Amino acid sequence: MKHADPQSPVSFRANVARLPHKGLPVVIEADAAQRAALAEEHGLLSVQAYRAELLVVSWKRNGVKVSGRVEADITQACIVTLEPVEAHIDEPVEALLLPEDSKLGRQGFEGGGEILLDADGPDSPETFSGDTIDVGALAEQFFGLAIDPYPRKSGAALDTGGDTEPAENEFQQKLRSLLGKS
């Protein structure tokens, strides 16, 4: 049974209360058990390799910026044939985090100020509590977003059974009768 706050298989808590001036470099190389847990959690056949290289630096007065890359070699099941499909993930990691009690995080909402978001720019800062951040879980989020939700083996196509029109479903039939179209 999973508890309310599941821990990432590649969890790595970085103490952000005393970050070095040049930042804290973090390298996470998943072992076999962690890769198996990642595969299960993300619905993959397997994760052959997983590596996150991150730099945790101070941002503004008491915020934190995490940047780097997550790379992985994974195997998924093709959505058409269910055969294994191998893929390589190479995803940039970029996140800004502020303490929960930070005025920076609240002033846009409570101070009546505007928050301008750039679709191509960085996401708005997330918040954290205490003096540690799970940068491993953060890297795993970027890994999860980079996984192709519809992996398809090269050349695999859905067999539609020729170019016949698909059968009309019950909803379409009722809609047509309500609109008085035959």
- Work out the mean pLDDT of the chain and round it to a whole number: 82
Mean pLDDT is lowest, of 24-33, 127-136, 158-167, for 158-167
**Residue 4 within a domain:** no
Q: Minimal CA–CA distance to 76: which of 38, 133, 127, 107?
A: 38
**Residue 6 within a domain:** no
Contacts of 134 (CB under 8 A, 6+ apart): 7, 8, 11, 12, 13, 14
The structural domain count of the chain equals 1
pLDDT computed for residue 90 by the predictor: 97
Give the total residue count for the chain. 182
| Stated pTM of the model | 0.73
Task: Check pLDDT > 60 for residue 171.
Answer: yes
Task: Check pLDDT > 90 for residue 113.
Answer: no
Report residue 1's pLDDT band, with 50, 70 and 90 as the boundaries.
very low
Domain that holds residue 151: 13-179
**Residue 62 within a domain:** yes
**Residue 78 within a domain:** yes
Task: Check pLDDT > 80 for residue 152.
Answer: yes
Mean pLDDT is lowest, of 97-101, 122-126, 177-181, for 122-126
pLDDT computed for residue 87 by the predictor: 95
Average pLDDT over residues 128-134: 87
- How far apart CA 3 and CA 34 sit, in angstroms, is 18
**Residue 8 within a domain:** no
**Residue 87 within a domain:** yes
Report residue 122's pLDDT band, with 50, 70 and 90 as the boundaries.
low
**Residue 166 within a domain:** yes
pLDDT computed for residue 131 by the predictor: 86
Contacts of 140 (CB under 8 A, 6+ apart): 8, 9, 10, 38, 70
Backbone angles phi, psi at 67, to 5 degrees: -140, 160
Helix (H, G, I), strand (E, B) or coil at 161: coil
**Residue 1 within a domain:** no
Backbone angles phi, psi at 150, to 5 degrees: -130, 65
